[in-house]
Amino acid sequence: VRQGTRGENVLLLPYLHPPLLVPFLRPLSRISIERAYWVWTACSALLLMIAAIMMTSSFSDRGASSLQVTGIRLAVLTFFPVAVFIAQGQDTVIVLIGVAGWIVLLRSRQDFAAGILLSLAAIRPHLAIGLSVPFLFARRGVFVGSLVGATILASFSISLVGFQGVVDYVELIRETSIGETLVIGEAGMPNFLGLIHRLGGGDGRSAAALAAWVVWIAFIVATCIWWRSLGSRVSSVHCGLLIVGTLMLVPYIFLHDMAILTVPAIAAAAVRLAACRADWESPVIALGIASLLLTVMAVTASPVFDICLAAAIFLFSAPLVRDLRDMSAITFRSENPLE
């Protein structure tokens, strides 16, 4: 109406969110766009603070000072992709709080409850699949919990819009993913599919998408095989690497979705703090540096874009890989006491 009567250039995007969010968004449709935006921003900020507190809830008990805990929470709140999803009015905070709760409960061995919280990632179905399927082969309680949670959310969606409405939602996602309804700009995605397009391989759009899906599925299969050999030894460190790999290889991702990378960074700090390591704050410092790199990435083109992205991913992955190596060494010594 505003676009037609005032000549304003208002771009109305398709509703690309699960029906389960409709009851929460409906009240916002009854107020002005500006007020709705600020109400949603306030709600997102509140949920973000809850996620930050959740991720750092055990830090004080393990020796971190109040100043250090506050600094870590500020690092989460000021992470550049977090600022992006707040500014854009995205619903990424729901995924973030679900993933954060999943990791926290996983570390306390509450697998089923961890899976329930992980099911909140179902508002990004492609992310939820990548993060939950490997638990079919290790710590199955997480998978069962995520399946139960996702079933409840799906049932709620069906009760709102009917089965056909859910089918229409899936079809809309399919059309958008191939550019029929909305051009999604793969060249700007900070992932493997985006890299293919930036290197000039996006002329055959279907071929690029196929290559990305093949790599993505191969990553999930490889993770399942690896985790099957680990069994109950799968830890938050392994999950941190799963999060990083998922965000880099899943075919449909945007800069605001990378806010989820705060979770493995804080989880790595928690693992090191629990082990009384002097370098426990280094993952948080890496988070701050990565934030600067992603800021530069957002305003540049390839190759600077990809150099900054690669450096940021290295900063998130390196602490996790080192922790994984240390864990393997400890396991080896416990299994081979003569060594």
102-117 residue pLDDT tens: 999 999 999 999 999 9
**Using an 8 Å Cβ cutoff, are 252 and 177 in contact?**
yes
231: left (phi over 0), alpha (psi -120 to 50) or beta: left
245 vs 242: CA distance, rounded Å = 5
**Amino acid identity for residue 151 in this structure:** T
Among residues 110, 115, 107, the alpha carbon closest in space to that of 136 is found at: 115
Would the CA dihedral through 290, 292, 296, 298 be positive or negative?
A: positive
Residue 43, token pair as written in the block: 């709600």
239 vs 101: CA distance, rounded Å = 13
> How wide is the angle at C-alpha 231 spanned by C-alphas 134 and 102, nearest 5°?
55
Helix spans in 197-261 (H) = 205-230, 236-249
292 vs 83: CA distance, rounded Å = 12
266 vs 268: CA distance, rounded Å = 5
Return the pLDDT at 204: 57
227-259 residue pLDDT tens: 999 998 999 999 999 999 999 999 888 999 999
Residue 41 CA from chain centroid, whole number: 19
pLDDT < 50 regions, the chain: 1-5, 331-339
